[in-house]
Structure 1
């Protein structure tokens, strides 16, 4: 069970003990308004039973109802107030209307986040406004006519019957060693414990089964530990769970994590459009669970969990990686990028887990501009050039991130080529530098048979960029890029790798044909202006002139006569 799914029932939440007064001399404000007997506690029994916002007049109750500050009320001068069903009173809503963070509503028992202006939340706001005795629950009242019954859950636990525990444990080890260092958003110690329970007659919920399926599928992809048929079944089983209408109603942290793993797998094995759709689903789930707000808001609102730095870190890290995966897929594919709170991928050094490869991944993705509000080249080109500088200077250590850095630099280069075809050679040289580093990284990953999604793609895109640059420096690196592509093809022996190599060779051949046509054109020009028969005589006269002007130069013959033809031996006037 995830931190977001381990939640007390509404009854348990209402019975949580609060600070108590020794003696009661005055009733709380809700009991006074409703003329009910108040026991003077904070909160009192009446407010607990009806989920009222229990508060007293100033000076009658000194205990603070909630120790953690609520980000829904950004005013530091006002003490936080207990939120009935995680919803502010009308006064608090008005006070927070001008806040930079627009507060929404999170239902503790789901969890489920909706915007403050949602039709689902409005009946509850109305109940607060009219001070109703029984507040309407956060529910989709009158959402449709209800002429059809909702389907029941159509999936069940199957993974333990298809994969023995010994195999699952080995795949967990592979995932922890290979993939987790890059996408470090899971608590692997906890995953090991829950997995062992799951395989030994203590089944976890279906969201956890989808999560463990994602882990096993990726580990198998990077190790060939399972046959392809078994791996495909695991992926399909996770898909059935994640797309079930009952499971998807409750976007727990495990659900979001399982979708992240599914997106990584689809990006590594599927089509660009499908990967982009999966990444968009992640972002929708992030919003649905309220992870796009600050972690302390989630901690306060969902389940009233006690402050726990480790759980807060997992929540924040999940939001970070979700953002990163979506932005990477959308940016590379040229599709729309969904953005909520950029703070989730910028504040990645606040916990012990913040240091390492995952932090470098977040820093690298944070360089990408996600605002798409203008198409003005005068604005975009300087921004892209600045982004290119940030990408190149971002320090990364893992070979996958070295390839990823080249991917992002090439993505900026492609955009600059569209808006400014005459790109300066200085920009080309910087792209060549990160691309050259990616060639070595691709060779190392290929030698380990690790099919990161950009092992082939980075090298292929770099070769295409070198061809279109058409400079001496790019032509010099083109040979190394093609050799690297050949090494990768020899290692993986897949259709897509061979297709990339074949396409790159066709482009190189077309590039060579273009060069030859240019040379032939120049040769025709030389042939029409200088008769072929007279060339030897003129060359002989030129050599005689050189010998008379500079005996030392004549001693170095033969020399490049084509170069000498372009020289001006006359002194400047």
Structure 2
């Protein structure tokens, strides 16, 4: 995939660091206005470097004037985001247009145009050097030590057979891919078949496919735990090797996404969050988060095909969704990339596209910022309404929706927010809908990370709500938790159930202490003459009334006096 990604971006390459500039018969309009030497190309190197819109006047056109023609359309002029020009009136600029970047497709590398790596190239254009410096980390360090060589030697094809690999691909296609749909499965299957039949692929592909094997084994139990762990460690060794990781690629990003999913299902919160952060940083490093009009390409002007663009877009979106979910749950900062292209986290697809539903849920997650507490609470309540209104067609997504609703509830609870009954009802409804989904996933041996976590967190929230509705729902929640723990029979599951029972007992003890205090007060209190006998006086007053007036009373006062009233919380 990475080779195709690079080839599709680097077709018809016209490098900025080409041969000596030739004098042109006619300069473009921006170069003529600024009195710069133009090479006569469209776009010329000056306009391409500074981000100007390159165009020529009505005079003789240069012989090498060629505009790229998109398929099925008419020639369009190349547009680029401009750098600030003091000779032109100021415009309303976005952050991306103020700080555009440079994409080097041959290495799948994106850097800011203001970075130290890009500045020598910028200076070369500024001083009109005959040979423009390449995009390179000049003088990044002293160079007194050599970089370590690649330490990865073994291949996944040597560990399991092709039949086993094919069955694991089928498991991954049926379980993980419907929700996190960012791989081109046909392409992956073809490359795997070649890899297992004597045509080795690059190490980035090796890392990605190791993640697929480990995750599919987790959901199917096909491999023993030692073999499964070997693939996870093999993937880690590849991803952390400095020779392999120096050039980011789609396969590397996919491998980190797979690693994050596996770590979320099996490891600790901090380690999982770091893995998701790495995936996000690689999305930025490869430039997947930027639209093409906001970058300058150092090699080639061709745009990716529609199929490749969809894979690139989905990869960036799934990485963003996964990182947002983990950060929001864990209470860590969320990495926000500087681009509008990820604002709408909804990939193309039909209504039944589960990745579409995943992105719809994450798009409703509130972006918590420091500010007015009232505005923060309003944002949280609004997000709660949006999340609970998203239509869901998968059990795992039902659990995710409940997790997000509970995450918002925890934040509002910490802020000491006054809940309305409707907001509590929304949280309870989301949690109640997740309980049968959790039972089904547990019975199907699909160990998604929130199979037990959602029920446990829901039980905690119900105890804090302490309403008649929450107490009734707590019964089903604890029954679900016990069923899942019996099925899993693991230390972590038993620990969660024990903690939930401990909290239930503590809540019960608190209520008993309150009832005992009220009973003691009622038992020890002496009758107050001003209050005592009120019922007798009331009966005497009624007896003194005329029969016709008594007949008009609509209530049975004896029954009314004996009623117990419950004030709303």
Shorter-chain-normalised TM-score: which range?
Answer: 0.7 to 0.9
CA distances 1:331-382 after superposition (whole Å, capped 9, x unpaired): 000001110156444545563478610001001000112252x242122111
Distance 1:359-1:11 versus aligned 2 partners, 3 A rule: closer
Give the 3-state SS of the residue equivalent to 2:2 in structure 1.
coil
| 1:3 and 1:311 in contact (8 A); partners too | no
Hey, what does 1:486 align to over in structure 2? 482
CA distances 1:103-132 after superposition (whole Å, capped 9, x unpaired): 101123212111111011111001011111
Q: Distance in 2 between matches of 1:42 and 1:315?
A: 28
Q: Counterparts in 2 of 1:354-369, with a 5 A limit? A: 356-369=353-366
Give the 3-state SS of the residue equivalent to 1:7 in structure 2.
helix
Match status 1:564 vs 2:563:
yes
Give the 3-state SS of the residue equivalent to 2:242 in structure 1.
coil
CA distances 1:500-537 after superposition (whole Å, capped 9, x unpaired): 11100000000000010011011111211269xxxxxx
Q: Distance in 1 between matches of 2:298 and 2:441?
A: 43
Aligned residues: 524
Q: Distance in 2 between matches of 1:110 and 1:347?
A: 28
CA shift for structure 1 position 98: 6.2
| 1:211 and 1:258 in contact (8 A); partners too | yes
| 1:299 and 1:305 in contact (8 A); partners too | no
CA shift for structure 1 position 304: 4.6
Q: Counterparts in 2 of 1:276-315, with a 5 A limit? A: 276-294=273-291, 304-315=301-312
Give the 3-state SS of the residue equivalent to 1:106 in structure 2.
strand
| 1:29 and 1:54 in contact (8 A); partners too | no
Q: Distance in 2 between matches of 1:11 and 1:456?
A: 50
| 1:157 and 1:209 in contact (8 A); partners too | no
Hey, what does 2:530 align to over in structure 1? none
CA distances 1:156-184 after superposition (whole Å, capped 9, x unpaired): 34211111111110000000011100000
Provide the aligned C-alpha RMSD in A. Answer: 4.1
Match status 1:330 vs 2:327:
yes
Give the 3-state SS of the residue equivalent to 1:105 in structure 2.
strand
Q: Distance in 2 between matches of 1:43 and 1:422?
A: 60
Distance 1:254-1:490 versus aligned 2 partners, 3 A rule: same
Hey, what does 1:425 align to over in structure 2? 421
CA shift for structure 1 position 26: 6.8
Q: Distance in 2 between matches of 1:252 and 1:162?
A: 25
| 2:344 and 2:363 in contact (8 A); partners too | no
Match status 1:200 vs 2:192:
no
Shifted more, 298-307 versus 388-397: the winner is: 298-307
Structure 1's unaligned 5+ residue stretches are 17-24, 45-52, 70-77, 532-537, 568-573
Hey, what does 1:497 align to over in structure 2? 493
Q: Distance in 1 between matches of 2:66 and 2:442?
A: 59
Give the 3-state SS of the residue equivalent to 2:110 in structure 1.
strand
TM-score normalised per structure 2: 0.82
Q: Distance in 2 between matches of 1:221 and 1:299?
A: 42
CA shift for structure 1 position 495: 1.1
Hey, what does 1:453 align to over in structure 2? 449
Q: Which of the numbers 233, 237, 241 marks the counterpart of 1:236?
A: 233
CA shift for structure 1 position 459: 0.6
Q: Distance in 1 between matches of 2:436 and 2:559?
A: 36
Give the 3-state SS of the residue equivalent to 1:315 in structure 2.
helix
| 2:109 and 2:286 in contact (8 A); partners too | yes
Q: Distance in 1 between matches of 2:481 and 2:87?
A: 59
Shifted more, 425-434 versus 462-471: the winner is: 425-434
Hey, what does 1:214 align to over in structure 2? 211
Hey, what does 2:511 align to over in structure 1? 515
Give the 3-state SS of the residue equivalent to 1:114 in structure 2.
strand
Hey, what does 1:436 align to over in structure 2? 432
| 1:3 and 1:253 in contact (8 A); partners too | no
Q: Distance in 2 between matches of 1:121 and 1:145?
A: 19
CA shift for structure 1 position 427: 1.6
| 2:102 and 2:296 in contact (8 A); partners too | no
Q: Distance in 2 between matches of 1:301 and 1:352?
A: 33
Hey, what does 2:161 align to over in structure 1? 164
Match status 1:126 vs 2:151:
no
Structure 2's unaligned 5+ residue stretches are 17-22, 45-52, 528-532
Give the 3-state SS of the residue equivalent to 1:168 in structure 2.
helix
| 1:109 and 1:303 in contact (8 A); partners too | no
TM-score normalised per structure 1: 0.81
Q: Counterparts in 2 of 1:253-264, with a 5 A limit? A: 253-264=250-261
Hey, what does 1:176 align to over in structure 2? 173
Hey, what does 1:379 align to over in structure 2? 375
